[in-house]
Structure 1
């Protein structure tokens, strides 16, 4: 009965079976098997380095040219700085002028309807002009707006 013999793949650091498909590919392309180790030939072509891209959503690396890479690129993802995979932006009616007055401005009546009870417990109310808390009394305005 034959025992399975294993050796370390020099490209990945994982153990591979001697005589297996990965072992045979390494032997055929660029390595010799000497004394139980894979030794790189002097005339072997330079190693092919994988390119990786960083998925900004999952925070994992994606192999360039791989299945997942093509799925993302074909779905409109952008590559920034030759490394970051950024999803397409979904812009739903951006506010053209964020500093402009709100469409639904805050009113005194709106604030009192929400916070009136808690202000009454503290014996306070709000100035009708600037909404600053003031002591409950005769005046409805703070000292600045009287």
Structure 2
């Protein structure tokens, strides 16, 4: 990957409110960079990736007690502005590689990575001690079939 033209990072506690905070970070950053055409897809992607990170490594209780907060992990959201695309990376301490699942029509969850796959040009993960980085790339130009 060529060096990014722009780069911003946000560190968050792995709690449910991290999803909303990451969405605000992405919207503000992409607006500042002038990458407004990809904001809606970027918000979907970061929501799904951060939700997965919080579920895998964080506290998902709406009102956590002190004992739960004592075991709190961090997650990191990084945006990279490349010449032709935006890269979204989410790091967490879980080392297992994420796998897109096929969810039943009436299932309430399980479609996240399938949605990421649908709106990005590519996505994947890589080890990052400790844990992993899940990344997704959004082209700045529309796909030719659109």
Would the TM-score normalized by the shorter structure come out above 0.5? no
Where on the TM-score scale, by shorter chain, does this alignment land: which range? under 0.3
Greater length-normalized contact order (CA 8 Å, ≥ 6 residues apart): 2
Provide the TM-score with structure 2 as the length reference. Answer: 0.21
Provide the TM-score with structure 1 as the length reference. Answer: 0.21
